Structure 1
């Protein structure tokens, strides 16, 4: 067998293969390469999060959930709303129910929603969290009380920012609930 002939044949085969490839690209009117057929996983990373990060996320979700539930119940001053117990328990639930009852009794409802910006202050114990302490500078500028009978503002006080310290605990059913909180006066943060 002639080595020159084999080399020439290989060059011809390579040239024909390249020509066919160029012709295939040109036939669809596109100069971009054909789409890749490599499979890409659309699954998110399965990196496990730490117990501390999980506790922080769930506690913050419970805190946000509590204020969403309260804002909804406050539109009618529904002090018996079953939603209140979804994210609050103990002293926190008692305070919320009593405040909504007082508003109901006084013919007041709330309009708007608070804007919360909570941050985790601490997690206890650090190896297996059961308590998360939260600090929030809540803006109640657009969450005000009105007379239910005529829709007029309940007072002439503007809303504002309030410092809130809250405790969120892991319940026996595995959920996180706000157990207590303290709201400081307007302008406290």
Structure 2
């Protein structure tokens, strides 16, 4: 399976997470990521806002995944459409199975296209240290290792601000 849309879910990275969004607290905005970005990646304008939104979504998703909080309001702050459905669905699925995610994904997003109110972001999400654990005993849920997943997101200016509206995450080893 080459490219799976976020709405369909990705068992391994699906993360294990879920949730993200809103949250004005500094801790909700914190992500683990390389500090260097390619020179083609803008730091201001629509591209800069899109990167901030994308990073904030992953920070919120990581936070929500700690408790499989599918109702985390931060999800709606940074995601919409199928990207929101992906993170809500992943967390709900994990909650129903008694699973949570521990650790953090490592992201290194870059802008690859900008067209008015839409920005395309490419990434290689490293989920090696972001794994599912059982709440019942605190042990790893399975023996599926995390890994590197190629990701592509569309970040769109909506009536309520910039949101990740589409997210495609590919299988382990795709980047």
TM-score scaled by length of structure 1 = 0.69
1:67 aligns with 2:54: no
Q: What CA distance in whole angstroms lies between the structure 1 residues aligned with 2:166 and 2:141?
A: 27
SS of residue paired to 2:132: strand
SS of residue paired to 1:62: helix
Correspondence for 2:125 among 126, 135, 138: 138
SS of residue paired to 2:155: strand
Aligned residue for 2:145? Answer: 158
1:52 deviation in Å? 9.6
Aligned residue for 2:167? Answer: 181
Aligned residue for 1:94? Answer: 85
1:149 aligns with 2:136: yes
Indicate conservation of the 8 Å contact 1:118/1:134, yes or no. Answer: yes
Q: What CA distance in whole angstroms lies between the structure 2 residues aligned with 1:95 and 1:178?
A: 11
Indicate conservation of the 8 Å contact 1:52/1:123, yes or no. Answer: no
SS of residue paired to 1:159: coil
Q: Deviations over 1:11-54 (max 9, x none)?
A: xxxxxxxxxxxxxxxxxxxxxxxxxxxxxxxxxxxxxxxx9941
Aligned residue for 1:169? Answer: 156
Aligned residue for 1:82? Answer: 73
Off by >4 Å, runs of 4+ in structure 1: none
1:120 aligns with 2:111: yes
Indicate conservation of the 8 Å contact 1:77/1:100, yes or no. Answer: yes
Structure with greater strand percent: 2
Query: What is the Cα-based RMSD across aligned positions, in Å?
Result: 1.4
Structure with greater helix percent: 1
Q: What CA distance in whole angstroms lies between the structure 1 residues aligned with 2:43 and 2:56?
A: 20
Instruction: Return the structure number with greater relative CO, CA threshold 8 A, min gap 6.
Output: 2
SS of residue paired to 2:112: strand
Indicate conservation of the 8 Å contact 1:164/1:181, yes or no. Answer: yes
SS of residue paired to 1:110: strand
